[in-house]
Amino acid sequence: MKSEAFQRLRKCARFILVLFVFTLSVQTAEAKARVFRAGAATSNITPPLDEPIVGNWSQPPAQHVHDELHARCLVLDDGTTRLALVLVDNVGIPREVYDAAKVIIQDKTGIPAAHVLCAATHTHSSISARGRCKVMPSESLSDYQLFVGQRIADGVRRAVNHLEPARIGWGRGTEPNEVFNRRYFMKPGTPTPNPFGGTDQVVMNPGRGNPDILRAAGPTDPAVPFLAIQTRAGRPLALLANYALHYVGPRSGATISADYFGVFADRVQQLLGADRLDPPFVGMLSNGASGDINNINWLKKHHHQAAPYEQMNKVAQEVAQTVYQAYQTLSFHDWVELGVRQTELTLAVRKPTPEEVERAQVILDRPDEAKSYHSREKVYAQRTMLLHESPDEVDIILQAFRIGDLGVCAIPFEVFVEIGLELKQRSPWSQTMVVSHANGSYGYLPTEQQHQWGGYETWMGTCNVEVRAASKIVSDLLTSLNWLKTSLPSRSSMR
């Protein structure tokens, strides 16, 4: 009896060993078959001179080009899923332009439109690719919009042409010295008028060293998450970073520039020793949740007048150096899983009351030299009438990407920093990027609390959608991030 039991035990052990060897060989074969590939390219989208530069209240015709503008494109492929990420040097681009580009991309490359993330950097130093009203779709595209859409598609096609076996890593640096909240509570008794005839609790950009400043109305986010791509041999292919800083411009008059986003791309290429490679290295910096963040410390008086290009070069250098230092500690993977979940969310458009429409019309009928309650009264009267004529609802695209253990959220607004921080904190991924100005351009996205305090970013015509939009967007994106975490196969990355 003991002998029979022993024989059965030996057969069972032999079977388990054979099964183990077979499973290991299958996994080894699958591992060898899995190839992660990446490709990157840029498309020049510099506009002609004499077109109006947008980003500030005045729109002077462009007289000079300091640096060329680009659509910077990165394509990733895990053998099953292919993703494209595109950053465009523009203040904001409507969904219709991106949709037109995605149609071409899908037709020419096979990459599904839902797998393409397109986002503006929010440079304030170029001509506009936006339409007349952010929540009113354009019936036709302008010549420059058509040009930008075509060049986005061209850049993605060229990135596909550059696909090669690659390695990928992601990390995070911290640069707290260049981000400041720009919204402040003021001391009691400080005048805080708004263009609608009322007063606010919070003021944007209250003046450097203003003695009436009480405290900041929100936090900052100093993190600089990034992903880096290199060939199997270690040659840098691309790097995509994300920083919650609104923009830093050239301060040089009517000059076209990619702002500090373009300088970062150049500096990180230099730091990585990636100049004059074939194919060329592509550096990319996306705009994070920075709707209430800028580069000015309003609590300190201004003692130094920066020369043209000085400040944007300084900030770009510091952010690039932060990324470069974190880059030295990266672990690169030969293969990671990619995933995407795209949804559409319907939001209510903010609508003026009959009384607000009547007041706006009275303001617009006044002569320009008439005394006004607020310096921007007429601008916001025009925006009030536009919203009055707009559709009641707008459909927006939200995207969540999975790149290995990195999560990416794409939001078509100028997103307040609190929203980005909440997404990062509640994300199932250890590291998450929040990309603003993505797949559309609908204005500012404050939190409900910030709406209650008022201020420029909350004004109707600056913020164009319902007050509860932020909470709806956060809920939708967290659902997508968790779906990507739990519903896709969890296969280990390989070195």
In terms of Cα–Cα distance, which of 138, 156, 139 is closest to 102? 156
CA–CA–CA angle 377, 381, 383 (5° rounding): 120
Average pLDDT for consecutive 10-residue bins of the chain (495 residues)?
A: 59 53 42 84 97 86 96 98 98 96 98 98 92 85 96 98 98 98 97 96 94 97 98 97 96 93 98 95 98 94 85 97 98 97 98 97 92 93 96 97 98 98 97 98 98 98 97 98 84 34
Q: 143 burial class (0-12, 13-18, 19+ CB within 10 angstroms)?
A: exposed
Q: What is the pLDDT of residue 7?
A: 66
Report yes or no: 440 and 465 within 8 Å, Cβ to Cβ: no
Cα separation, 222 vs 173, whole angstroms: 8
Tokens 């995509």 locate to: 240
In terms of Cα–Cα distance, which of 413, 401, 486 is closest to 76? 401
Q: What is the pLDDT of residue 40?
A: 98
Q: What is the pLDDT of residue 27?
A: 40
- Residue 483 tokens read as 């779906």
Report yes or no: 402 and 339 within 8 Å, Cβ to Cβ: yes
